[in-house]
Structure 1
């Protein structure tokens, strides 16, 4: 009986240790990664508010140290489909950044369809070809503009910004600071 209890306690400790390790590995895998020192990273996301007939856009521009240079939320008029919202997020994010004189920018979105379409280049025949064309046109104003798909967990800060857009009149921007509702999510991005 004593050996069975000791063995059960040992198995439980092993299980808890493995679970803790697994959680840390998952967190490390899905964690926001800073860009190279000479690159700025723009994370964007969109959210649909069906009950309002509107959509929210969130964008955050960060330095390789993780320091926030700009955070933006925008409430958009009616949109037809979720992919359109994600494309608008990419477009608005670039629009907010284009006048800043950024040489190298890495743009991340958790919408694989939008990122794949931008990489494939056959965007002019799609339903939202006009938006794709505007995104590509804006991207050409940067010395180097890279588009990258990331998992939702890696894009949480932009996601929270987009969701919060339902609380604004049109556009809210923060320069070199962040809104209070975002501080915990940003902290998790940087330190966990």
Structure 2
């Protein structure tokens, strides 16, 4: 019962947040008096679909997105490669300590020489995005262990991506608090979805919202915050 109550609260909070954003943008939204019923119906639908995930290994289920410390935001980044068209994609989502989305981004870039270069460019873009939006205390999180290790390293990197790492270290000094963390792919699904969106959209930013294709995984992250 306690778990169900939390899930209903998460659904309701998300519905209120999305309604606020739609009203601010002048878009149609459900009446305030219907939010509770809408959240209940959404939770019921989610619970009916849940058995399809029953065979996921326990170790995979344990990997989940976790909110940043109080007064911080977390910027998750990911990259995607579209080699057939010579392009790559960057996806970024910034969320607050309650798990609510502050901003999201998808962006196309020319295809770099390696997948690692795509990831390090995505990490740098996450910092620039957070800075552009005025965030001062940021946790940056991605699923490339090599990139997170390189960013946190103190040895000068002389590889092709060394200059990007230097840019990241320089940008890091703009924040009063900055931390770089690694998470497995299972906990970075929203950023991955956003990176894949770049195949169709050269550049899009969503304020306090996510695109429909990423909404389900974003909602799942909220439900897992227990």
TM-score above 0.5, yes or no: yes
Q: Give the Cα–Cα distance (whole angstroms) in 2 for the partners of residues 39 and 29 of structure 1.
A: 23
- Point out 4+ residue stretches in structure 1 off by more than 2 angstroms: 20-28
Please give the residue correspondences for 1:56-95 in structure 2 after superposition, counting only pairs within 5 Å: 56-95=89-128
Higher alpha-carbon deviation: 92-101 or 69-78? 92-101
Structure 2 equivalent of residue 32 of structure 1: 65
Is 1:177 the equivalent of 2:182? no
Is the CA contact (8 Å cut-off) linking 2:77 and 2:92 kept in structure 1?
Answer: yes
Q: Give the Cα–Cα distance (whole angstroms) in 2 for the partners of residues 94 and 123 of structure 1.
A: 20
Is the CA contact (8 Å cut-off) linking 1:123 and 1:132 kept in structure 2?
Answer: no
Is the CA contact (8 Å cut-off) linking 2:75 and 2:94 kept in structure 1?
Answer: yes
Please give the residue correspondences for 1:70-149 in structure 2 after superposition, counting only pairs within 5 Å: 70-149=103-182
Aligned with 1:48 (options 81, 85, 90): 81
- 1:27–1:188 distance in 2 versus 1, CA, 3 Å: farther
Is the CA contact (8 Å cut-off) linking 1:117 and 1:123 kept in structure 2?
Answer: no
**CA-CA distance at 1:126 after TM superposition:** 2.4
Any stretches of 5+ residues in structure 1 without a counterpart? 1-19
Structure 2 equivalent of residue 190 of structure 1: 222
Is the CA contact (8 Å cut-off) linking 2:81 and 2:111 kept in structure 1?
Answer: no
Any stretches of 5+ residues in structure 2 without a counterpart? 1-52
TM-score by length of structure 2 reads 0.72
TM-score by length of structure 1 reads 0.84
What are the Cα deviations for residues 50-90 of structure 1, in whole angstroms up to 9, with x where unaligned?
A: 10111000000000111100000000012100000000100
Of the two, which has the highest radius of gyration?
Answer: 1
What are the Cα deviations for residues 13-41 of structure 1, in whole angstroms up to 9, with x where unaligned?
A: xxxxxxx9985843552011111121100
